[in-house]
Amino acid sequence: MKSLWNRLIKLDRSSTKSLQIQIREGIVTAALEKMLEVDKPLPSSRELAKELNVARNTVVLAYQHLVDEGFLDSHERKGFFINPQVYSDRIDQPKSNYSSLASTPAWCNRLLLKQPSLQRNIRKNKNWKDSPYPFIFGQLDFNLIPIHEWRECVHYSLNVGEMRQWATDQVDEDDPLLIEQIQKRVLPRRGIWTRPENIMITLGAQNALYIIASLLVGEETRVGIENPGYPDVRNIMGLKTDNLVPLDIDEEGVVVGEQLFQCDVVYVTPSHQVPSGVTMSQKRRQQLLEAAVKKDIVIIEDDFEAESNFKHEPQPALKSSSDSEQVIYVGSTSKTFAPGLRLGYMVAPEKVIQEARALRRLMFRHAPANNQRAAALFISLGHYDKMIGRLHGIYKERWQAMNYCIEKHLPSLKCVPNFGGSSFWLEGPEDLDVDEMASALEKQGVVLETGSVFFMGDAAPKNHFRLGYASIPVDKIEPGMLMIADYLYGRTPEQKTIKVH
């Protein structure tokens, strides 16, 4: 039977947290939940170490940390006690009826103007990291994250001199070093040369898109959305206006025609279209820019994955054009570095940036300044350029493996040709139900993205799906693809009939 302290302090020896940290957390939790008495001493370091089967020095250090933080009192020859001051400013009387917290007050139905939870959106498997074959988009293989380089930058940003720069409230300003690095090192890779006054840091690209929509889109604004296209942008714009115009996509990118001409604002993903992966041709880019100038259309250019182009040099960004005044440019570190970092940026006319900063201040003031400084150091020390080169080689290898498997194992499916990015867009026969397929494959450890959510309207086709390769090691690609082929064609090589639902 476990002792009291083994029940209060549950050590997980497989955890990334040290045993000392776990002991400290266990004592703090037990004390705050009033499982310990203030006037009763804790076990001696020797006793607790024996009960928990850890080194005595581990417990000594844990106790000393808690004393230094004022959580424990140390009394000579008596031991360690919970500091009574811990409870002096706390209100710990529990509510007598928790059920009331689960009810929906009447004002919710009366005052909630929007219900974004009801929108159709991308649903990702929360446990995708535990799946052996994660063909999931927008996530990164953890082994590709430059951990040591990032740790170096974070460590340096924590020295006293650097902390003096970022520890204060920046109000509506950004880290000048990060702005400089984006201006001089990141944007020129896309052919963009601009001033610091035209750049603002955001919490990822999606935050930039929400700010832009809040500033530019009203109830009467006509917004062009690629169809199929990025659901989150469709939903952001849908919160502002009902005038969403679906824009067709072909092998050269968004179609420049009558549908586009009637728009006030157009959202495009020219480097790698979401979800098809098509790279907009230079001819189509010129047509789009000319239409924007002639019709006074604002183009929102979401330029993610621009660096991942494996068969030819990437096309310069729309924002690099001489007609770039019509373009608001959005970039992000999420797809190339770490999605959880949530750092992005936007490039726009100075007046737009001025208003964006004012709006951002009302929302959350600025992106965390410590992360901004670490990211600035990451770029300035050359880690960013090294990372791009490394990812280019790794993604090219995975792209080749995926492309080979699609041609060999899924020959009857339509695959949109692409030359980079981090995913493939596939179309099955009309009677294929990808929702059903994804559910069946998930039980076998294969995670893929269903495609119906990318289409506008309620009658979205169910026979499309997207396979990402940024999160799956190259040696897992073919085994996973074979499992997809097994589902589609049957378990035997001789059977080549698509399942009909």
Six-digit token string for 85: 């001051």
* Mean pLDDT calculated for residue range 100-111: 80
Give the pLDDT score at 346. 97
> Looking at the predicted structure, is the pLDDT value of residue 296 above 80?
yes
Distances (CA, A) of 387 to 140, 390, 394, 399: 13, 5, 11, 18
Closest Cα to residue 269, out of 300, 298, 242? Answer: 300
194 neighbors 397 (Cβ within 8 angstroms): no
Which three-class secondary structure string do you get for 368-388?
CHHHHHHHHHHHHCCHHHHHH
Cα separation of the two ends of the chain:
55
* Mean pLDDT calculated for residue range 207-224: 97
> Looking at the predicted structure, is the pLDDT value of residue 486 above 80?
yes
Please indicate, yes or no, whether the overall pTM of this predicted structure exceeds 0.75. yes
> Looking at the predicted structure, is the pLDDT value of residue 481 above 90?
yes
Six-digit token string for 51: 């009960």
The single residue listed with the structure tokens 């020390």 is 381
> Looking at the predicted structure, is the pLDDT value of residue 389 above 90?
no
**pLDDT one-digit tens code per residue, 257-283:** 999 999 999 999 999 999 999 999 999
Q: Rounded to whole angstroms, how far apart are CA atoms 374 and 368?
A: 10
51 neighbors 43 (Cβ within 8 angstroms): yes
Please name the residues in contact with 358: beta carbons below 8 A apart, sequence gap of 6 or more: 172
Average pLDDT, the chain: 90
Taken in order of first residue, the domains within the chain and their CATH numbers are 4-87 (1.10.10.10), 128-143+386-489 (3.90.1150.10), 145-383 (3.40.640.10)
**Contacts for 437-440 with beta carbons within 8 Å, 24 or more apart?**
437/465, 437/487, 437/488, 438/465, 440/487
Confidence of residue 37 (pLDDT cuts 50, 70, 90): confident
* Mean pLDDT calculated for residue range 165-191: 93
**pLDDT one-digit tens code per residue, 141-170:** 888 888 899 999 999 999 998 888 888 888
Confidence of residue 336 (pLDDT cuts 50, 70, 90): confident
* Mean pLDDT calculated for residue range 335-340: 78
Give the pLDDT score at 501. 40
Give the pLDDT score at 319. 95
Distances (CA, A) of 459 to 236, 245, 473: 20, 16, 35
> Looking at the predicted structure, is the pLDDT value of residue 496 above 70?
no
Q: Rounded to whole angstroms, how far apart are CA atoms 375 and 343?
A: 9
Confidence of residue 86 (pLDDT cuts 50, 70, 90): confident
Give the pLDDT score at 493. 44
**pLDDT one-digit tens code per residue, 435-469:** 999 999 999 999 999 999 999 988 899 999 999 99
339 neighbors 138 (Cβ within 8 angstroms): yes
**pLDDT one-digit tens code per residue, 399-423:** 999 999 999 999 999 998 887 789 9
Confidence of residue 494 (pLDDT cuts 50, 70, 90): very low
Give the pLDDT score at 465. 96
- Provide the residue type at 466 as one letter: R
> Looking at the predicted structure, is the pLDDT value of residue 89 above 50?
yes
Q: Rounded to whole angstroms, how far apart are CA atoms 438 and 446?
A: 8
> Looking at the predicted structure, is the pLDDT value of residue 238 above 90?
yes
> Looking at the predicted structure, is the pLDDT value of residue 95 above 70?
no
Q: Rounded to whole angstroms, how far apart are CA atoms 238 and 260?
A: 17
Give the pLDDT score at 252. 94
Confidence of residue 32 (pLDDT cuts 50, 70, 90): confident
Return the half-sphere exposure (C-beta side, CA atoms, 13 A cut-off) of residue 227. 18
Measured at the CA of 107, the angle between CA 103 and CA 113, to 5 degrees, comes to 115
Lowest-confidence pick of 97-106, 113-122, 195-204, 384-393? 97-106
